């Protein structure tokens, strides 16, 4: 068995003296693991950093085997993140999200979005709404997409400012007002990619996506929202007051 693809490093751990078990999110073959001989050597270690894009050839005798990766660097962006605290935590958080996907299950569209965020992660103004939308997209990819197109109570498609924590469906201002204290806020930028977040939109967006990630994805697995996500949002709040 053999294939060639490109992928983004989302994890690496030592195997033996100098080899590595590399975890990639690949464009065509989904989340995939393989061994890199000499992966912890001086030549390969800088390449196998979380957030870097690599060209990879995978070989194994049988499809179900771990197999071996031959890796070449395409875009070594990881070193650029060290100058921005939010970016350091952000790339780790994004990698953790990708590890929620089933192994070897292709998600080409998600891969494109993931790579696009990494290319802009150093800029908090651009990256913050992209990550919040990405979390929303992850819910859909994992089978827990929210219905934000019309009001769950009236069917209205305008003035949708709430989300029901029970149903995950949008609720209009009028229908949701009596229960406003129980509702999650729905910022416009999550529904419309042309809209820029304003005021507390970013904080509301992360609160919304975090609530449903925890309830539907993490809690059934015995997990919680990661510290890296909390540190990422905290770092954003220092750079962008609207996240606080």
5-45 tens-digit pLDDT: 999 999 999 998 899 999 999 999 999 999 999 999 999 99
Same domain, 72 and 96: no
Domain presence at residue 165: no
Last residue of a domain, one of 58, 76, 94: 76
Task: Tell me how many domains the chain contains.
Answer: 2
> Which position has the token pair 């050597």?
41
Quote the pLDDT of residue 242. 67
Is 18 in the same domain as 139? no
Q: What distance in Å separates the CA atoms of residue 60 and residue 51, rounded to the nearest whole number?
A: 25
8 A C-beta contact, residue 120 and residue 130: yes
Strand order in the sheet with 170-172: 170-172, 160-163, 184-185
Residue 230 has pLDDT above 90, yes or no: yes
Among the candidates 44, 76, 108, a domain finishes at: 76
Domain range enclosing 227 = 80-148+186-243
Q: What is the pTM of this model?
A: 0.94
b/e burial code for range 145-184 (CB count within 10 A of at least 16 → b): ebeeebbbeeebeeebbbbbeeebbbbbeebbeeeeeebb
């Amino acid at each position: 068995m053999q294939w060639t693809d490109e992928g983004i490093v989302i994890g690496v751990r030592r195997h033996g003296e100098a080899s590595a078990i590399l975890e990639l999110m690949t464009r065509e073959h989904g989340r995939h693991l393989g061994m890199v001989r000499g992966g912890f050597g001086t030549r390969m270690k800088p390449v196998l950093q979380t957030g870097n894009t690599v060209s990879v050839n995978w070989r194994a005798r049988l499809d179900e085997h771990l197999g071996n990766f031959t890796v070449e660097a395409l875009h070594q962006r990881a070193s650029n993140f060290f100058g921005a605290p939010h970016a350091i935590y952000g790339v780790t958080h994004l990698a953790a999200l990708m590890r929620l996907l089933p192994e070897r299950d292709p998600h080409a569209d998600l891969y494109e979005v993931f790579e696009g965020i990494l290319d802009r992660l150093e800029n908090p103004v651009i990256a913050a709404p992209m990550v919040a939308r990405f979390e929303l997209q992850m819910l859909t990819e994992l089978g827990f997409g929210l219905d934000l197109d019309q009001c769950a109570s009236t069917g209205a498609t305008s003035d949708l400012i709430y989300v029901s924590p029970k149903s995950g469906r949008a609720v209009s201002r009028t229908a949701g007002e009596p229960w406003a204290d129980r509702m999650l806020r729905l910022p416009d930028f999550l529904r419309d990619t042309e809209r820029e977040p304003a005021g507390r939109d970013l904080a509301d967006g992360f609160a919304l996506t975090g609530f449903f990630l925890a309830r539907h994805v993490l809690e059934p697995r015995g997990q919680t929202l990661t510290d890296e996500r909390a540190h990422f949002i905290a770092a954003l709040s220092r750079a962008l007051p609207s996240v606080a």
